[in-house]
Amino acid sequence: MIENIDKYNALRKQYPTFCYQSFEYDITPEGMKITFLFTIGETITFMPTITIPQREFYKWNGITKEQYDLLVFNIGMIELISYWKATCSPTIVVKPYSLNEEQIKFWQKLYYNGLSEFFYINGINSTIDDFVNIKTESTCELSKTHFATTNSYIVPIGGGKDSVVTLEILSQAGKDICPMIINPRGATLDCAHIAGYERPDFIEIQRTIHPKLLELNAQGFLNGHTPFSAMLAFHSLLVAAITGRKHIALSNESSANESTIVGTNVNHQYSKSLEFENDFRSYVSSYITDDINYFSFLRPLSELQIAMFFAKNEKYFDVFKSCNVGSKTDIWCGNCPKCLFAYIILSPFIKPEVLNGIFGKAMLDDASLQLYFDQLTGLQNTKPFECVGTIDEVNTALAMTIERYYSNCQLPYLLKNYSKKELITPLNTLSDEHNLDDELIKLFDL
């Protein structure tokens, strides 16, 4: 920790300025390619790219240059944080367009809270007021605009149970849906296929990390978690505009609001939280457009309720994955907190032998997972830095599982010394903190 604090201070002194120099984009018969230019001092240059392969349903000509500039510029503002964190330069200079004071406050808050895990893991103690100063050098302003949109939906797919539930409920309600996938992999492609969508049918975004950042990481520059869901949010605005779809239906649940570190604001899932969702909606409405509606469809639900809905869709059991360790090989690794959480939250609704087949083993019988189990159930002050549910949800799931499957037989290893809790998380009520209209709320049949 001390080493990282010293490194943080030294890098900030050595590299006082990070610059968002420019962006460019080109639309060809193959699709759209976006390139950003970020620099740190005079020696470090990053040029990450975003590619959106062509689809027949894209309406490229329906968007003006000013509108593309508006959308792409803002994507650059969230993409830059992955590169800024290498040196944590005390000043960010934004050159393409100007930002007013309220916009700068939005970005400072997003960067600060979205990097809370990064700061915590690296032992960096900073405040929202002093960690970075954002300056703009341009006098050119971007104006809020109007997009022609229809009452249809974009549903980002991550390959896990949550986006499957959103897809299935909205599809069964007869909604016009187009899935969206960033950097498609096995689980995302398979989930889309089972839902009835082949590659030409969905929005695809290819996002690359510039090799220079990987080089700096290898050299020992600062590294850590960044707010991926915020990046997803700004990308989704662009594809909503070029497809003419009004609604972007995320699959973030109420559980994402709980801090990872008890008693702090450190939250691995900050950019999945309702706080970010509301801030983002306000920013979009004020500075981009009123014609695109970004919200999380699953916000009224707990992880436990989502698991209950997912368990009714057996056709996805063999293909869904949300293990970060096994993402590149498209497996459940079976040895990480994300796998253990997914196993636990589904355990009240799927028979043990079926669940063991999905995950490759009886995870509640694995003694090596004791620490993760204690973190998930609240016996430790720190939850795993993963997208997992609340402590109450985990304990409720375990209580239900013991009652349904282990009340009259020998308990698995992790449950032998576990003190069963009362059922804390109800399955038949919805949270009233969300951005859904009454029509969508009625789709949850509890």
The Cα 98–Cα 119 span in angstroms is 28
Q: What values do phi and psi take at 233, rounded to 5?
A: -60, -50
Q: pLDDT band at 1, cuts 50/70/90? A: low
The residue behind tokens 């689809």 is: 55
Q: pLDDT band at 2, cuts 50/70/90? A: low
Residue 262: pLDDT above 70?
Answer: no
Q: pLDDT band at 406, cuts 50/70/90? A: confident
The Cα 248–Cα 163 span in angstroms is 12
The Cα 403–Cα 380 span in angstroms is 24
What is the bridge-based pairing of β-strands 49-53 and 203-207? Answer: antiparallel
- Quote the percentage of the chain above a pLDDT of 90: 79
Q: pLDDT band at 384, cuts 50/70/90? A: confident
- Quote the percentage of the chain above a pLDDT of 70: 96
The residue behind tokens 């699959």 is: 251
pLDDT digits (tens, 9 = 90+) for 346-357: 999 999 999 999
Number of other residues whose CB lies within 10 A of the CB of residue 27? 17
Residue 401: pLDDT above 80?
Answer: yes
Q: What single-letter amino acid sits at 354?
A: V
Cβ pair 268, 261 in contact under 8 A: no
Q: Is the pTM of this model over 0.85?
A: yes
Helix, coil or strand: residue 20: strand
Cβ pair 226, 219 in contact under 8 A: no
When the pLDDT of each residue in the chain is averaged and rounded to a whole number, the result is 93
- Beta-carbon contacts of 109 under 8 Å, excluding residues fewer than 6 positions away, are 128, 279
Residue 316: pLDDT above 70?
Answer: yes
Identify the weakest region by mean pLDDT among 117-121, 161-165, 332-336, 421-425.
421-425
What is the predicted pLDDT for the residue at 254?
74
The Cα 390–Cα 381 span in angstroms is 13
Cβ pair 288, 330 in contact under 8 A: no
Q: What is the mean pLDDT of residues 210-234?
A: 95
Q: pLDDT band at 287, cuts 50/70/90? A: very high
The Cα 347–Cα 311 span in angstroms is 10
More confident residue, 4 or 131: 131
Q: pLDDT band at 5, cuts 50/70/90? A: confident
What is the predicted pLDDT for the residue at 417?
86
The Cα 187–Cα 133 span in angstroms is 40
Residue 382: pLDDT above 70?
Answer: yes
**H/E element holding 4?**
helix 2-14
Q: pLDDT band at 174, cuts 50/70/90? A: very high
Distance spanning both ends of the chain, measured CA to CA: 47
The Cα 245–Cα 13 span in angstroms is 46
What is the predicted pLDDT for the residue at 219?
96
What is the predicted pLDDT for the residue at 143?
96
Q: pLDDT band at 329, cuts 50/70/90? A: confident
Residue 423: pLDDT above 80?
Answer: no
What is the predicted pLDDT for the residue at 120?
86
